[in-house]
Structure 1
């Protein structure tokens, strides 16, 4: 029955795309984030949903969509360069079987991130892509938030829509993604035109943000707490009343502490005591091994090169209570431990060239969003500015920048360098950057008396 409902829902969306082919792009976003084929039990698992949706999206764009105003940005070129380089390192990978298995989903994330901006030609399309991304990941977040409230959380025990511990269904990854989603939720609540801001939109948005905050608690992921702290600081740049915001945030934090599970507080306490936490000690040892590995393999060892690691380190263990506490150091040997950091993941698998490409891609996104923020902080070119608010372009650039920076902080401690979620954010950034350059360029031409583009505004979908 569950399979029939999921297949029927996806089939309905695909049928709607016959009239508006852009809907097929949104269907792919939904499938790639939620992975409904993993939720079902029978027939749906045998269907290549992701391939079907991407084929429909690409063919719909190729044959039916207007190419007016389409631009291929420099960042899309960087994604293609990273894709090609990953392909080369995969062919020479140290562990061929697992490397090709990882390549099977990495290339899809990179190709879609390159393709997505080509379809985002209007404000409505950009907003629709953001909305579907938020609602798709929201399906996972709401499920996890409800289970956390009713006592189903805990480190490595929170079960989301599927009984799987990979991708967005892994605790630290969903915690990072949940916090990174908060700025996008706020932007939709303020500037949305598909669901115009009213009390119902704000109520749902508030509940969804609350669920996002519950995910790090339900998963007991320290990464989520760090990302939340960073996002709180970043939001100080964009709020109007900074002191009020800071005071309210402090009061909420103090009020929430008595209600947090003791197991969560104890795990968060290990952030500052890495020597007594084997997980943190392992991370440091893996990072040191990866750096040494890069000296002998500067071009990278291909996907899953971490399987070659083996190291020994000492971890601090405290036994006893009160005055009878004893501290001893135990020797621990580890093998084939994952990187636990996107930066070292890139360094070990793609070497220095791949790491530099990835950092260039991410850094350029932060810079481009800052340029848009600067550009629209000086203008009052839309209805939003008339009532004292910033423009939707400024708001979306701010949200995408905050989401990306929260992700980059979380990426310090989790191997999520190629996750489709972050590359969808990159694709949205590229689409917004291209849209702003095109529309603002036409506006400058019109003001200077030069002939602007006279083509009719293309259909939003």
Structure 2
């Protein structure tokens, strides 16, 4: 039944996609982020829904009369530079065949990320995009949270098999990145039932993240919560809520969970942690030896034999930063860090230029929550191989579109709007 339902939804959406490219992007995000076909047990699990939606979206972009240009943004240009550099490093890959397979997957993600930046243009598009991202991942947050409550935290929460978030650690980070989006939607709704539903979704998603037993997830949720508290307008109330809910959540988790979290401080005796550090040394030594890095898929015995302190401890990078370093060299890491920094700066620009303007309050809320998501990803991603996880790139597209909307609004009535400097002075 689930297979049939997903199939009907996808094929029924095709006429809407052809009519408007935005619909195609939203469907693509739903398919690629939630992976609804994985919730079935039949033909849908292997059916090429993503390819069908992607082709329909590209066809819609080609025939539409809407503008087909990418937004003139530093984020856009840097993302294009990153894509071009990854194409260059692939030419010098240590393992050409395996690298080309991964290159195909990554380029699909990057292509659709750029298409997303091209077609997401209005506040309505932005709002729909945030809802799709929130509900796609919130589904697993609610499901995992209920599972954690029913099991008393004894059993570990996992994501859908064969996806970016199939691993417990990856699912935890994805949920942590989504909680700020839920908070933004809560801040901008005037429907009480939606507000309460989002509250429940946030609480269950937080429980699901804890129930994943992810140590990196615990650090990420700490970074996300601290940033959200720093950005809150009422720090006293927010701080009291955090101080009340955090101990309750931690006390709910069983002793075995506490023992695993306590091992964060004893990494010297943890085989998994030492394996990651060994992989990080390998990536650093590889990048020093090869200007273009090793290309995709370098976690092989022969590479560890040449570059790792312990050649027998073969692990994936388990870090977005060392993954970029090992696969694309110091240049690739620099471009990736620059991309994150520019996204953060653009969000800060949105906050400054929307402060004190009622019609732009939504943009300020969204930019702050984008930064909270990015803070969680920056910390949690330090321990996960999620360099090509598509959600951060979709968030970049949201930031780009939001900045353009704020700039457009201010350009329409510049004389009636406060300057950012005056606005900040009043805020103090």
Counterpart mapping for 1:315-394 below 5 A: 334-377=312-355, 379-382=356-359, 391-394=361-364
Aligned residue number for residue 387 of structure 1: none
Q: Deviations over 1:281-305 (max 9, x none)?
A: 1122221222122111122110122
**Structure 1 residues 263, 82: closer, same or farther in 2, change over 3 A?**
same
Larger Rg: 1
Structure-2 residue corresponding to 1:416: 386
Partner of 1:323: none
CA deviations 1:215-265 (Å, max 9, x no partner) are: 222210011111111112111232122123222211222233321121111
Distance 1:65 1:122, change over 3 A: farther
In the alignment, what sits opposite 2:205?
A: 212
Q: 1:105 and 1:182, CA in 2 relative to 1: closer, same or farther beyond 3 A? A: same
Q: Is the 8 A contact 2:141 2:206 kept in 1?
A: no
Per the normalisation by structure 2, the TM-score is: 0.90
Equivalent positions of 1:252-291 (< 5 A) are 252-291=245-284
Task: Label 1:43 to 1:218 Cα distance change in 2 as closer, same or farther (>3 A).
Answer: same
1:392 deviation in Å?
A: 0.5
Matched with 1:186 is 183
Distance 1:409 1:46 in 2: 33
For 2:58 and 2:408, how far apart are their aligned partners in 1? 23
Partner Cα distance (2:183, 2:416) in 1: 33
SS in 2 for 1:167: coil
- Cα distance in 2 for partners of 1:312, 1:75 equals 34
Higher mean alpha-carbon deviation, 412-421 vs 87-96, is at 87-96
- Whether the 8 Å CA contact 1:372–1:394 is kept in 2: the answer is yes
Number of positions where the alignment pairs a residue of Structure 1 with one of Structure 2: 414
Residue 132 of structure 1 is matched in structure 2 by: 132
Deviations 1:356-388 (A, max 9, x none): 1111111001011111111112x3242xxxxxx
Relative distance call for 1:106 and 1:219 in structure 2 (3 A) is same
Q: Distance in 1 between matches of 2:308 and 2:117?
A: 46
1:60 Cα deviation (Å)?
2.1
SS at match of 1:273: helix
Hey, what's the Cα distance between the residues in 2 that align with 1:381 and 1:97? 54
CA distance in 2, matches of 1:333, 1:88: 28
Paired residue secondary structure (2:396): helix
TM-score (norm 1): 0.84
Contact 1:118 1:431 (8 Å CA) reproduced: no
Give the direction of change, closer, same or farther, for the CA distance of 1:370–1:103 in structure 2 (3 Å limit).
Answer: same
Kindly indicate whether residue 304 of structure 2 is the aligned counterpart of residue 309 of structure 1. Answer: yes
Which among 407, 413, 417 is matched to residue 443 of structure 1? 413
Quick one: distance in 2 between partners of 1:77 and 1:265?
44
Cα deviation for residue 62 of structure 1 reads 3.3
Task: For residue 383 of structure 2, give the secondary structure of its aligned residue in structure 1.
Answer: coil
In the TM superposition, residue 109 of structure 1 has moved relative to its aligned partner by 1.6
Query: Relative to total residues, which structure has the larger strand share, 1 or 2?
Result: 1
Answer yes or no: is the 8 Å Cα contact 2:18–2:59 preserved in 1: no
* Residue in structure 2 matched with residue 31 of structure 1 by the alignment: 31
Deviations along 1:381-428, whole A, 9 cap, x unmatched? 42xxxxxxx701101111111111211111111111111111111111
Alignment partners' CA distance in 1, 2:164 and 2:70:
32
Distance change >3 Å, CA 197–CA 420, structure 1 → 2: same
How big is each residue's C-alpha offset from its partner over 1:83-124, in whole Å with a ceiling of 9 and x where there is no partner? 121122223211223322222221122112212122122111
Normalized per residue, the structure richer in helix is 2
* Change in 2 beyond 3 A, CA 1:351/1:333: closer
Cα 1:25–1:247 shift into 2, 3 Å = same
Shift of 1:312: 8.0
Q: What is the Cα deviation at residue 333 of structure 1?
A: 6.3
CA distance in 1, matches of 2:132, 2:352: 27
SS at match of 1:306: coil
| 2: CA distance, partners of 1:264 / 1:65 | 55
2:236 equivalent to 1:243: yes
**Does the alignment pair 1:294 with 2:287?**
yes
Q: Give the Cα–Cα distance (whole angstroms) in 1 for the partners of residues 19 and 311 of structure 2.
A: 59
Contact 1:404 1:422 in 2 (8 A): yes
The gaps in structure 2 that reach 5 residues or longer are: 418-428
CA distance in 2, matches of 1:212, 1:87: 37
Q: 1:169 to 1:68 in 2, by over 3 A?
A: closer
- Which aligned pairs between 1:144-155 and structure 2 lie closer than 5 A? 144-151=144-151
Deviation at 1:201, TM superposition (A): 0.4
Are 1:432 and 2:402 matched, yes or no? Answer: yes
> The residue matched to 2:293 in structure 1 has which SS?
coil
Identify which of 403, 406, 421 aligns with 2:373: 403
